[in-house]
Structure 1
Amino acid sequence: MDARLSVVVLCLAVLVSASTAGAAGQATDDGTAEADIEVRYVVDRLPERTGVVEVTAVVDVPEQVTDLSVRLPNNASVQDADGFRPTEPRWQWDSETEGETAELTYVVPVGLRTAYGQRTADTDEWSLLARREVALHARWRWQRGTDPKWTERMVVAPGQSGVAGSTAAYLGPYDSFSRETRDGTVRVVVPEAASLRANRTRILDTVASAQRASRLGPDDDRVTIFAAPNSLAPGGYTPANGEPVVMVNAGEPVATPTNVWVHEYYHTRQTYRTTAEMRWLDEGSADYYAARWTLQQGYIDTGQYRNRVTTDRYENVDLTRPERWPSPDVQYDKGTRVVAAIDARLWQVTDGNATFVDVLARLERADEPVTLDTFADAVSAVAGEDVDAFVRAAVTGPAPPVPTDTAYVASLDAGGHDRQRNATTGGAADPVSGLPDFSGLPVESERVGGAAAMLTLAGLWACLLGVWVRLGRVLWRTGARATPRPRRPR
């Protein structure tokens, strides 16, 4: 094929790929297309009004949907509507706009609080918010095919500097740094108002190593970490488990058994669902692997690891009764110890051939939310013997001891114990041998002066320019006299 024609084909392929990214839908029996209800929350700052942001919810309604209504977030006030009409207490989609886009613009307060303090805020200079603060609550009917999904993502308004992920967004001046690894991308967004305590390279090292060690959850792992300004609550927050977006207070260290950078990353790999009696499993397993992976990375020693997983705090509390917990710390402290004890038990009864990750993999493949019964059954199945009584007693009664013998802890420190299976493919065990060598991987940094969408467009044109440069070199070497005409961005 002629070299110039090759370039044209390649460029067209890139442009078509970019323009069709994110398109959803499949054909039905009658040849019509099925699609999801796609919602984009375009977020904009209101500098004259601190504490609130403006959101335009852009809703693409597929043809099979016949009825749709939405409820606004708490304390939101509508500024404009196109394709929606008020029907208190909801807003009704105008069916005459079938197959088209409907929009609802509203102002909503920002300032999410958890048991540990305020996680999001809107200030004079910046905004950090979670999708749950601005999201619509919808219900709909459809006339054929399968139930369309309600898919949501956040978008930074044109003209704003910021970064938007699927479940959170930051608006304001920022730096970011990232690393491409064999397992995906790790990107850390640092607002101008945030001061990192840990070294940038160390943050990327610890998260990338955890990324490599984990074999649960989504295969395509592109995680965004918002380093929350230090004025917000310490620790971290994950808006939705299984989604690749987390928040970690910029003041959090790495070299600690409660490594929050790893803890929150681990939540991005949790795709199983739990009932109220097993909600502790989310935090207990995240804290356990934060301690274990940080040990394997060499940032803490075995003594620090032992102290964390053998803690006697809340050791007699029933994990299945959160309404009776004396503190939300129960799930972190006793939960961590219970996971560590079960993991050690599995190591003992299987001669090191099975771990707690095999239990989580079974739970992820299940169709129903995790109960104490299904949890105990999964542990027994992995163990190859009945350990039902042990598991139930550990969860609801006094926490069992965690072995601290030399062989077991040494196996953790060396990484040989961390044999994890791919939850989606059932692949062979993948031993992890301590901290990976990231010395040859660069830390990519950027200082942002425009909206994230403009960065994507600039990257596309840079790709096209690179193709033309390579073509010029080829033609020069072959003696061809051809000078490609420069292209201007549209």
Structure 2
Amino acid sequence: MVGSTRPVVLALAVVLVASALAPAPASGADPIVQETTAELDGEAVRTTLAYDVPDAVSELTVRVRALGDGATLVETRGFDRTATTEFEWRGAADPRVVVRIPTDDRAVVTGDGWAVAARPASGVSYSYRGSDPGFETRYGVAGEGYAADPLAYLGPHRTAAVTAADERTTLVVATPPDPDVGPAKSFLRVAPGRFDFGVRRDGTTAFVIPTRESERRRQLAGVTSATSFWVSSDAVAMETTGTAFSHEYVHTRLGAVGEGSAAWLTEGSADYFGRTFALNAGAGEYGQFRERLAASQYDPDRTAVTLADRSTWRGTLANYRKGAHVLAALDAEIRSRTDGEHTLADVFAARAGDPFESHADFRATVVSVTGADLGPWLDRYAAGDDLPPLPENPSAFVYGGDLDPDGDGTGSAAEVRGGSHPFVAGSQTTTPTPAPTATPTATRRRLRRRRRHRRPHRRRRPATRPGSALSRQPRRSSSASRSSSRAAGADGAERRGCRSARTGRRLLLSEPVADTLGLAALGALVVPAVFRRRSLGELRVAPSADEYVAPLRTDRLLRGHTRRMEQTWLQDTESVRRSVSARCPESRGWSSARGRAPRPPRSR
């Protein structure tokens, strides 16, 4: 009804992960347009948000969330600032808000005469008369540059385009350094239909920026925002399977694919599929691929991480490294249990970019898509801290069976059928990948539990004979009996009734040996405690064991203790020898080599 006023709230999604689509304007109505323009301003980016407000709009409130994240306000026109991030329109024409956003190595990255910047997160709410006018956003640059909402590159550049399966990808390459983008273009040509999970885009933009080091001393890799992403110039060479180019490409297909207890899937899937797709496209070497895919540092005996519990891996790279490791093993499990009918990519393709809300949601989807009972497997390795074994057979990593990553003239699928290695020319493979049933980690845990609860073995002690010189009689030695039998003869009757006594198996230690055993016992307690020290879920490098053991080698107290033990053993041994000689004068005496006395034969 004409004259009525209805409030409408429209929230724009934060860039860097995904962008929500604004409602389309009603037919014949002029929309509210936000024109965002970026320009280089030293080591920051100056961003202007200008608004075209139609006559049907009576009230407009703008929120610029970047002002709460380090950005500074430069000027406003036609707005009153009502809060740190909020501005109310006064009804003036050509209203705008100008902010200056410093570099943060993600939303804004700057260099010598260039910058790449994401459109700042913002939102509007408005009141209107009549039909809803809707809201539109546009992104551009002032001066030399290239914008593909929500990312823009500011500085000299050139462009290149690749079209495959009706999908166009534009590469915006910084000049300098103007790297060779041939390997990246080759990847983009084979990706549609093989590496895209069935998700197609109208267009994708890849910004190739100069390689630099951030203020935190880590090399910048890449960032994806909706269908645009940027990577460093060395990533387009595709020299290794861990290239950021294929990693960010996966993000353009899946986006933020995990939430809640499944949040690890967002980076874990990009890391695993990014490496696997690059390998199938001919990048890197298979041996290096397996080595980098293995996440042995997250073995629970070293650093325990539960992927479904974000608090155990926050601040680490476990969602990348262990996430990729677990997904690689899951992919092999799916192939094995479905006889190659399904792969892990089918699970993600079934959601078509719809994120998994929890571990239970992901678990249910895996079981539903594959038809295999993989719920307990996922509970153990994704909801538990165990680390599964990686598949040994390279056929578990094949995507795009018509591709020839090793360049031997035969496609991967044909090589797998013929028993050849799909990624190493001239190499043979073994039997198909078996379904893993146990892990070395689980075996070690069971053995530790058995040792922990097992009672120490106790030898049975014979009853002592009244009047004996010894207080106990250890068990009979078969070798001693054989020696006594050989010594028996005509004088056997005289020995009848003479029962020799033996000490137990006493070990006579010299001082160096005693010191060594003492150090070993202390080391068994000290060294493991040193190396099991943890911080933020990562294993810290502990000092050398020599720093802990060396001082003990000169500990006089320890040396004196071992010397007193040795003297006690020698005294006990000498007393036994005298007792045996006195009671059995015809015996052959004490066997010092074996630490026991020969026993005369029993009377028959």
TM-score norm. by structure 2 comes to 0.55
The residue that corresponds to 1:54 in the other structure is: 46
Does residue 227 of structure 2 align to residue 244 of structure 1?
Answer: yes
RMSD value, Cα: 3.6
In the alignment, the residues of structure 2 paired with residue 329 and residue 23 of structure 1 have an alpha-carbon distance, to the nearest angstrom, of: 34
Q: Decide whether aligned partners of structure 1 residues 56 and 258 sit closer, same or farther in structure 2, where only a CA change above 3 A counts.
A: same
Corresponding residue to 1:190 among 150, 169, 173:
173
Deviations 1:226-285 (A, max 9, x none): 112112453522242xx2211111123412121211111111111455324222211111
> What's the secondary structure of 1:56's corresponding residue?
strand
Residues 169-248 of structure 1: pairs in structure 2 closer than 5 A? 169-194=152-177, 196=179, 199-216=180-197, 218-233=199-214, 234-240=219-225, 243-248=226-231
The one-letter code matched in structure 2 to 1:192 is T
Q: Decide whether aligned partners of structure 1 residues 95 and 219 sit closer, same or farther in structure 2, where only a CA change above 3 A counts.
A: farther
- Tell whether the 8 Å contact from 2:280 to 2:400 is kept in structure 1 after alignment: yes
The residue that corresponds to 1:355 in the other structure is: 343
Q: CA deviation at 1:141?
A: 5.8
- Tell whether the 8 Å contact from 1:84 to 1:102 is kept in structure 2 after alignment: no
Does residue 363 of structure 2 align to residue 376 of structure 1?
Answer: yes
The residue that corresponds to 2:83 in the other structure is: 88
The one-letter code matched in structure 1 to 2:37 is V
The one-letter code matched in structure 2 to 1:251 is D
In the alignment, the residues of structure 2 paired with residue 95 and residue 273 of structure 1 have an alpha-carbon distance, to the nearest angstrom, of: 41
Name which structure has the greater RCO, CA cutoff 8 Å, separation 6+: 1
Does residue 21 of structure 2 align to residue 25 of structure 1?
Answer: no
The one-letter code matched in structure 2 to 1:377 is A
- Tell whether the 8 Å contact from 1:93 to 1:102 is kept in structure 2 after alignment: no
Does residue 38 of structure 2 align to residue 43 of structure 1?
Answer: yes
- Tell whether the 8 Å contact from 1:38 to 1:60 is kept in structure 2 after alignment: yes
The residue that corresponds to 1:346 in the other structure is: 334
Does residue 316 of structure 2 align to residue 328 of structure 1?
Answer: yes
In the alignment, the residues of structure 2 paired with residue 378 and residue 65 of structure 1 have an alpha-carbon distance, to the nearest angstrom, of: 47
- Tell whether the 8 Å contact from 2:66 to 2:101 is kept in structure 1 after alignment: no
- Tell whether the 8 Å contact from 2:74 to 2:100 is kept in structure 1 after alignment: no
Corresponding residue to 2:251 among 247, 267, 284:
267
- Tell whether the 8 Å contact from 2:224 to 2:252 is kept in structure 1 after alignment: no
> What's the secondary structure of 1:313's corresponding residue?
helix
Corresponding residue to 1:135 among 121, 138, 147:
121
Q: Decide whether aligned partners of structure 1 residues 212 and 183 sit closer, same or farther in structure 2, where only a CA change above 3 A counts.
A: farther
- Tell whether the 8 Å contact from 1:40 to 1:59 is kept in structure 2 after alignment: yes
Give the gaps of 5 or more residues in structure 2: 1-20, 404-412, 416-421, 424-604
Length, aligned pairs only: 376
In the alignment, the residues of structure 1 paired with residue 172 and residue 201 of structure 2 have an alpha-carbon distance, to the nearest angstrom, of: 20
> What's the secondary structure of 2:62's corresponding residue?
strand
The one-letter code matched in structure 2 to 1:172 is G
The residue that corresponds to 1:297 in the other structure is: 281
Q: CA deviation at 1:178?
A: 2.3
In the alignment, the residues of structure 1 paired with residue 30 and residue 380 of structure 2 have an alpha-carbon distance, to the nearest angstrom, of: 47
Residues 454-473 of structure 1: pairs in structure 2 closer than 5 A? none
TM-score norm. by structure 1 comes to 0.67
In the alignment, the residues of structure 2 paired with residue 65 and residue 274 of structure 1 have an alpha-carbon distance, to the nearest angstrom, of: 40
Q: Decide whether aligned partners of structure 1 residues 413 and 155 sit closer, same or farther in structure 2, where only a CA change above 3 A counts.
A: closer
In the alignment, the residues of structure 2 paired with residue 307 and residue 183 of structure 1 have an alpha-carbon distance, to the nearest angstrom, of: 36
Q: CA deviation at 1:331?
A: 1.5
The one-letter code matched in structure 2 to 1:231 is R
Deviations 1:362-415 (A, max 9, x none): 33465x752111000000101213321111211132122232225535x45845
In the alignment, the residues of structure 2 paired with residue 403 and residue 209 of structure 1 have an alpha-carbon distance, to the nearest angstrom, of: 25
Corresponding residue to 2:140 among 152, 155, 172:
155
- Tell whether the 8 Å contact from 2:254 to 2:353 is kept in structure 1 after alignment: no
In the alignment, the residues of structure 2 paired with residue 151 and residue 136 of structure 1 have an alpha-carbon distance, to the nearest angstrom, of: 12
Give the gaps of 5 or more residues in structure 1: 1-21, 417-430, 436-490
- Tell whether the 8 Å contact from 2:159 to 2:173 is kept in structure 1 after alignment: yes
The one-letter code matched in structure 2 to 1:349 is R
Corresponding residue to 1:399 among 387, 393, 398:
387
The residue that corresponds to 1:310 in the other structure is: 294
The one-letter code matched in structure 1 to 2:98 is Y
Further displaced range: 246-255 or 208-217: 208-217
The one-letter code matched in structure 2 to 1:135 is A
- Tell whether the 8 Å contact from 1:66 to 1:143 is kept in structure 2 after alignment: no
Further displaced range: 103-112 or 207-216: 207-216
> What's the secondary structure of 1:113's corresponding residue?
coil
Runs of 4+ in structure 1 deviating by more than 6 angstroms, as ranges, are 142-147, 431-435
In the alignment, the residues of structure 2 paired with residue 275 and residue 110 of structure 1 have an alpha-carbon distance, to the nearest angstrom, of: 29
> What's the secondary structure of 2:234's corresponding residue?
coil
The one-letter code matched in structure 2 to 1:68 is T
In the alignment, the residues of structure 2 paired with residue 143 and residue 357 of structure 1 have an alpha-carbon distance, to the nearest angstrom, of: 48
